């Protein structure tokens, strides 16, 4: 109950979008627009080797031939890809440096966001408190990565993608684009051409990563797009838990965020990937502004008995288009997807997952909770498929939608493709509204309407919240409550 | 973008393809290389239909042509037959039915393949008046090489009841689509389906129910069994439009896959634009339960028979929901025959 109480207090205390500030930081931009020259510019700026540039140019040429997908249940004015900055970086920072060298203005931004960038600041807490290694990405570059030394001691590589391309080219060349191929889809292809930074993680065989790893993405510059690329490789028997958070300033223009996340799992490896997505959702009254969040996330369970778990809390973004997927190739591998998608105001979310069963005895579980309020719409779109060789595959899917108010919409669009006689697929979905009886009961007990909504909604999403790492769960609970503020009555 | 248009114009680009979202599992453009010649008139006698003896009136189409004038003031039980009688030819037929307010109609519809490899396209318009009651039973017995598309557009008035059961054994490629415009207003819809597919047959049952007003009920149950290299497709969509509050819609699809080369594809969709609704769908796909088979064998029932028994019981749940007694008996026997069990 303490957490619930805290939620209620937070709801009362907070503004609608607390991360909407902008910071005046000297920044360097690539010229607006997209062309081969821009791709070369980004690559040169990062001092990349020729093979990386060739890879980008190949992606750019393929992108020119692709068409923007239109099947998602979202609508937005056509995106002008020439009206965006594809590279924006704080001046004179070519890559992550030690904390002392980071622009104090940037540190101030992260302090305001409550992200611990100082290692000692984290350590100063109670003994045994969980610690987080953070890779902070500011617009197009990674500004700092913490705890690198301590992680290196156990063989874990945790650094920015630019650094990985310089320091560990053999790993990057082997795995980059092997899960999400360059021309996988329109936005992944665009990302492959212009990606600027992101995190790179390698966990060596048998190592259990000693602390939570996390990335914090911040869009700051106006009219810029963020295209980060994350690659996590868990070698045989390795384990890591990875957290991702993101925010952006409040602006009237739409900004594009097209990321690609690739996870590679070898035999017996396990990755737990959690996201709390809180990009600026646009003005709740007019729907103006906000981030277009078009993300491709995929895990490739190559090894036998490997396990991947995606947990996401999606509360922000004007438009979300995101389907974290699991390719269950290894025998006995398993995939999980836990999702809470909250939409309010004029937000549109089309999100879900793909569970592709290729190996024998593979298992997957999907729990998706959608909450729509205001004039928003939220769609669960998911694919579960079993290949003829995936004998003994099992899937359980549960999608529940909660509607708050007369003008919102909730859709469920599952695709199930079963291609062998030894699999079991179960799917159930419900759509209901917040029960008047329950609201009345809570209000009768002295809770205000908004407190009652927060309480009931937290109960509705509890199954998913429980999957989040502790600190994230508390934050996520607050976010869910804040996003729904003012949605009843 | 329909088979009928392609048959009329000979333009293959008019065929729906895998790239059309609603046809992704029923690709006609990739399959059809050329449009066959139009079916000739067929004046010989045709064999009796599956519902022979149950209906007072019969409306008969052979090769897309209506044989006798529609019975006016048709009785309560009407047989509607679409017979394809000439091999390797194509035909399209359209028919409209108006059910007057406060009347009752049992429509015993059959699609009968009495030749091989034909193309058939049937479009039906059914308007159900206020307070009227319709039960539509559709039995589709196509040739293994046939391509068959049946589309029904059903318009309901307030207080109407529309119950439907589709039974099919598939074809080379087959689509049975039902679109219901549901006014809410105490109208009641039941849409059921059964498919029992073997060899290389394909069957697609697609339903779209659009709830446009308050207080509507829809209940759907589709069950299927696929064997050999057959492919069953179920696409169910329930749309609740803004303002269609108090809608109660439930959809279930359950399938058994009996062979490792068979396939079932399902897409149960809910598109909800109103908040005061109770909508749910469930979907399961799997194999027969080994424990149940073990239990039966333990009791002395040979494995093959145990499998047939369990499969028949599985499909039986849908067949039992047919209200018209005679039609239910025909359907039960038909299912038994498909599963290789004599009734």
Average pLDDT for residues A409-427, to the nearest whole number? 93
Q: Is B162 inside a domain boundary?
A: yes
Query: SS3 string of chain A?
Result: CHHHHHHHHHHHHCCCCCCCCCCCCCEEECCCCCCHHHHHHHHHHCCCCHHHHHHHHHHHHHHHHCCCCCCCCCCCCCCCCCCCECCEEECCCCCCCCHHHCCHHHHHHHHHHCCCCCHHHHHCCCCCCCCEEEEEEECCEEEEECCHHHHHHCCCEEEEHHHHHHHCHHHHHHHCCCCCCCCCCHHHHHHHHHCCECEEEEECCCCECCCEEEEEEECCCCCECECEEEEEEECCCCEEEEEEEEECCCCCCEEEECCEEEEEECCCCEEEEEEEECCCCCCCCCCCCEEEEEEEEEEEECCCCCEEEEEEEECCCCEEEECCEEEECCCCCEEEEEEEEEECCCCEEEECCEEEECCCCCEEEEEEEEEEECCCEEEEEEEEEECCCCCCCEEEEEEEEEEECCCCEEEEEEEEEECCCCCEEEEEEEEEECCHHHHHHHHHCCCCHHHHHHHHHHHHCHHHHCCCCHHHHHHHHHHHHHHCCCCCC
Rounded CA gap, B91 and B5, in Å?
11
Q: What is the mean pLDDT of chain B?
A: 93
First to last CA, chain B: 42
A169: in domain: yes
Residue A319: strand pairing partners: A292, A348
Choose among B270, B275, B285: nearest Cβ to A404.
B275
pLDDT digit string, tens, across residues B311-336: 999 999 999 999 999 999 999 999 99
Domain membership of residue A457 (yes or no) is: yes
Q: How many CA atoms lie within 13 A of A2 on its CB side?
A: 2
C-beta atoms of B283 and A418 within 8 A: no
* Minimum distance, in Å, between the CA of residue B55 and any CA atom of chain A: 39
pLDDT tens digit string along B216-270? Answer: 999 999 999 999 999 999 999 999 999 999 999 999 999 999 999 999 999 999 9
Q: Do B267 and A408 touch (CB under 8 A)?
A: no
**What's the pLDDT band for A282 if we cut at 50, 70, 90?**
confident
Return the residue of A nearest to B247 by Cα. A432
Segments forming the whole domain that contains residue A258: 2-483
How high does pLDDT run on average in chain A? 84
Residue B255 exposed, middle or buried by CB count within 10 Å (0-12, 13-18, 19+): buried
Tell me if chain A has a CB within 8 Å of the CB of B31. Answer: no
Please give the residue that has the higher pLDDT: either A247 or A54.
A54
- pLDDT at site A121: 46
Question: A216 in a domain, yes or no?
Answer: yes
Average pLDDT over residues A195-223: 85
Tell me how close the Cα of B23 comes to any Cα of chain A, in angstroms.
13
The beta-carbon neighbor of A416 closest among B259, B278, B285 is B285
- Closest partner residue to B261 (CB to CB) among A388, A391, A404 is A388
Which residues does B28 contact at the CB level (< 8 Å), separation at least 6? B3, B6, B15, B16, B17, B147, B149, B173
Average confidence (pLDDT) over A310-339:
93
Q: Which of A391, A405, A419 sits opposite B263 (nearest CB)?
A: A419
Quick check: A10 pLDDT over 60?
A: no
Q: Encode pLDDT of B116-144 as tens digits.
A: 999 999 999 999 999 999 999 999 999 99
* CB within 8 Å of A54: residues ≥ 6 apart: none
* pLDDT band, very low/low/confident/very high, at A123 (cuts 50, 70, 90): very low
Are A138 and A218 in contact, with CB atoms under 8 Å apart?
Answer: yes
pLDDT at B219 (0 to 100): 97
Residues of B in contact with A431 (CB under 8 A): 270, 272, 277-280
Dist CA A444 CA A269 (whole Å) = 50
Residue of A nearest to B243 (CA): A406
A73 pLDDT band, cuts 50/70/90, is confident
Interval A433-450 mean pLDDT: 89
Question: Are B269 and A433 in contact (CB < 8 Å)?
Answer: no
Residue B156 forms part of a structural domain: yes
- pLDDT number for residue A47: 87
Structure tokens at A79: 């995106």
Structure tokens at A267: 């035999």
Q: Which of A408, A412, A423 sits opposite B286 (nearest CB)?
A: A423
Of the pLDDT bands very low, low, confident and very high (cuts 50, 70, 90), residue A101 is low
- Taking contacts as CB-CB distances below 8 angstroms, the residues of chain B near A406 are 242-243, 274-275
Interface of A with B in 46-105 (CB under 8 A): 71
Mean pLDDT for A84-106 is 66
Q: Is residue B240 part of a domain?
A: yes
Q: How many domains does chain B have?
A: 1
Q: Smallest Cα–Cα separation from A195: which of A220, A242, A228?
A: A228
B264/A428 Cβ within 8 A? no
- Decide if B273 touches A, using CB distance below 8 A: yes
A424/B contact by beta carbon, under 8 A: yes
Q: Is residue B136 part of a domain?
A: yes
Torsion B330-B332-B335-B340 (CA) sign: negative
Q: Chain A contact for B258, CB < 8 A?
A: yes
The stretches of chain B forming alpha helices (DSSP H) are 3-9, 290-298, 303-319, 325-338
Residues from chain A that touch B285, judged by Cβ atoms under 8 A, are 416, 418, 423-425
What was the pLDDT predicted at A12? 45
Find the range with the poorest average confidence among A323-337, A392-406, B63-77, B157-171. Answer: B63-77
- Give the structural domain span for B49: 36-287
Contact B283 A428 (CB under 8 A): yes
Q: Residue A390: is its pLDDT beyond 60?
A: yes
Q: Is residue A489 part of a domain?
A: no
Q: Which of A169, A186, A267 is nearest to A227 (CA)?
A: A186
**Cα A199 from Cα A217, distance rounded (Å):** 10
Asked if A405 and B272 come within 8 Å (Cβ–Cβ), the reply is no
Domain count for chain A: 1
Of B273, B278, B279, the CB nearest to A409: B273
Q: Which two tokens stand for residue A268?
A: 């017996």
Work out the average pLDDT over A415-444: 90
- Asked, for residue B258, whether it belongs to a domain, the answer is yes
pLDDT for position A16: 61
Asked whether residue B342 is assigned to any structural domain, the reply reads no
């Amino acid at each position: 109950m303490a957490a619930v109480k805290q939620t209620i207090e937070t709801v009362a205390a907070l503004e609608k979008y607390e991360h909407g500030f902008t910071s005046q930081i000297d920044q360097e931009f690539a010229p607006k627009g997209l062309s081969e020259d821009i791709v070369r510019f980004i690559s040169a700026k990062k001092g990349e080797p020729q093979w990386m540039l060739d890879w980008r140019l190949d992606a750019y040429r393929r992108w020119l031939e692709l068409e923007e997908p239109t099947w998602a249940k979202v609508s937005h004015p056509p995106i002008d890809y020439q009206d965006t900055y594809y590279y924006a970086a704080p001046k004179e920072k070519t890559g992550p440096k030690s904390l002392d060298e980071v622009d104090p203005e940037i540190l101030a931004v992260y302090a305001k966001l409550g992200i611990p960038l100082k290692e000692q600041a984290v350590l100063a807490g109670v003994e045994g408190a969980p610690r987080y290694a953070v890779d902070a990405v500011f617009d197009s570059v990674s500004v700092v990565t913490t705890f690198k030394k301590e992680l290196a001691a156990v063989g874990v590589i945790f650094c920015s993608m630019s650094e990985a391309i310089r320091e560990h080219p053999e790993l990057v060349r082997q795995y980059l684009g092997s899960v999400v191929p360059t021309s996988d889809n329109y936005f992944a292809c665009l990302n492959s051409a212009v990606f600027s930074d992101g995190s790179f993680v390698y966990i060596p065989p048998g190592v259990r990563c000693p602390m939570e790893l996390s990335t914090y993405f911040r869009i700051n510059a106006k009219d810029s797009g963020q295209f980060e690329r994350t690659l996590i490789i868990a070698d045989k028997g390795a384990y890591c838990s990875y957290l991702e958070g993101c925010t952006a300033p409040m602006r009237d223009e739409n900004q594009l965020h097209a990321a690609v996340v690739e996870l590679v799992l070898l035999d017996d490896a396990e990755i737990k990937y959690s996201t709390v997505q809180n990009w600026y959702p646009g003005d709740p009254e007019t729907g103006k502004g906000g981030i277009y969040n078009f993300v491709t996330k995929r895990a490739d369970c190559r090894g036998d008995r490997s396990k991947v778990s995606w947990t996401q809390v999606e509360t922000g973004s004007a438009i979300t288009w995101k389907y974290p997927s699991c390719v269950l190739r290894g025998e006995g591998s398993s995939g999980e997807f836990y999702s809470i998608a909250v939409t309010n105001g004029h937000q549109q979310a089309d999100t879900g997952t793909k569970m592709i069963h290729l190996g024998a005895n593979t298992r997957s579980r999907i729990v998706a909770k959608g909450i729509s309020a205001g004039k928003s719409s939220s769609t669960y779109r998911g694919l579960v498929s079993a290949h003829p060789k995936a004998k003994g595959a099992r899937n359980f899917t549960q999608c529940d939608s909660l509607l708050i108010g007369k003008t919102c919409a909730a859709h469920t669009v599952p695709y199930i493709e079963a291609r062998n006689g030894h699999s079991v697929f179960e799917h159930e979905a419900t759509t209901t509204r917040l029960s008047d009886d329950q609201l009345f009961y809570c209000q009768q007990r002295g809770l205000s309407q908004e407190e009652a909504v927060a309480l009931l909604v937290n109960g509705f999403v509890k199954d998913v919240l429980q999957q989040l790492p502790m600190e994230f769960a508390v934050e996520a609970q607050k976010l869910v409550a804040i996003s729904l503020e003012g949605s009843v009555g | 973008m329909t088979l009928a248009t392609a048959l009329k114009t000979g333009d293959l680009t008019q065929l729906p393809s895998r790239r059309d979202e609603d046809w992704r599992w029923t690709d006609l453009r990739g399959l059809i290389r050329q449009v066959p010649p139009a079916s000739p008139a067929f004046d010989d006698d045709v064999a009796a239909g599956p519902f022979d003896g149950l209906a007072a009136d019969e409306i008969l189409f052979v090769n897309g042509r209506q044989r006798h004038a529609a019975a006016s003031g048709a009785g309560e039980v009407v047989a509607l037959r679409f017979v394809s009688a000439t091999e390797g030819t194509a035909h399209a037929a359209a028919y409209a039915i108006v059910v007057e307010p406060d009347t009752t109609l049992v429509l015993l519809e059959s699609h009968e393949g009495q030749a091989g490899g034909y193309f058939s396209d049937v479009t039906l318009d059914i308007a159900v008046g206020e307070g009227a009651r319709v039960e539509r039973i559709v039995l589709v017995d196509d040739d293994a090489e046939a391509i068959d598309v049946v589309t029904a557009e059903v318009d309901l008035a307030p207080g109407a009841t529309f119950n439907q059961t589709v039974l099919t054994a598939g074809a080379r490629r087959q689509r049975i689509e039902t679109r219901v415009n549901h006014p809410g207003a105490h109208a009641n819809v039941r849409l059921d389906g059964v498919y029992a597919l073997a060899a290389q047959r394909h069957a697609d049952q697609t339903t779209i129910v659009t709830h446009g007003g308050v207080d509507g009920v829809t209940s759907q149950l589709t069950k299927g069994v696929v064997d050999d290299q057959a492919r069953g497709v179920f696409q169910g969509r329930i749309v609740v439009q803004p303002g269609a509050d108090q809608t109660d819609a439930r959809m279930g699809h359950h399938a058994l896959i009996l062979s490792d080369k068979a396939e079932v594809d399902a897409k149960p969709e809910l598109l909800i634009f109103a908040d005061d609704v109770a909508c749910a769908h469930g979907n399961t796909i799997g194999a027969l339960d080994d424990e149940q088979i073990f239990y039966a064998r333990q009791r002395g029932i040979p494995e093959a028979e145990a499998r047939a028994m369990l499969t028949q019981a599985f499909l039986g749940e849908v067949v039992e929901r047919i209200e018209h007694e005679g039609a239910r008996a025909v359907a039960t026997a038909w299912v038994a025959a498909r599963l290789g069990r004599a009734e």
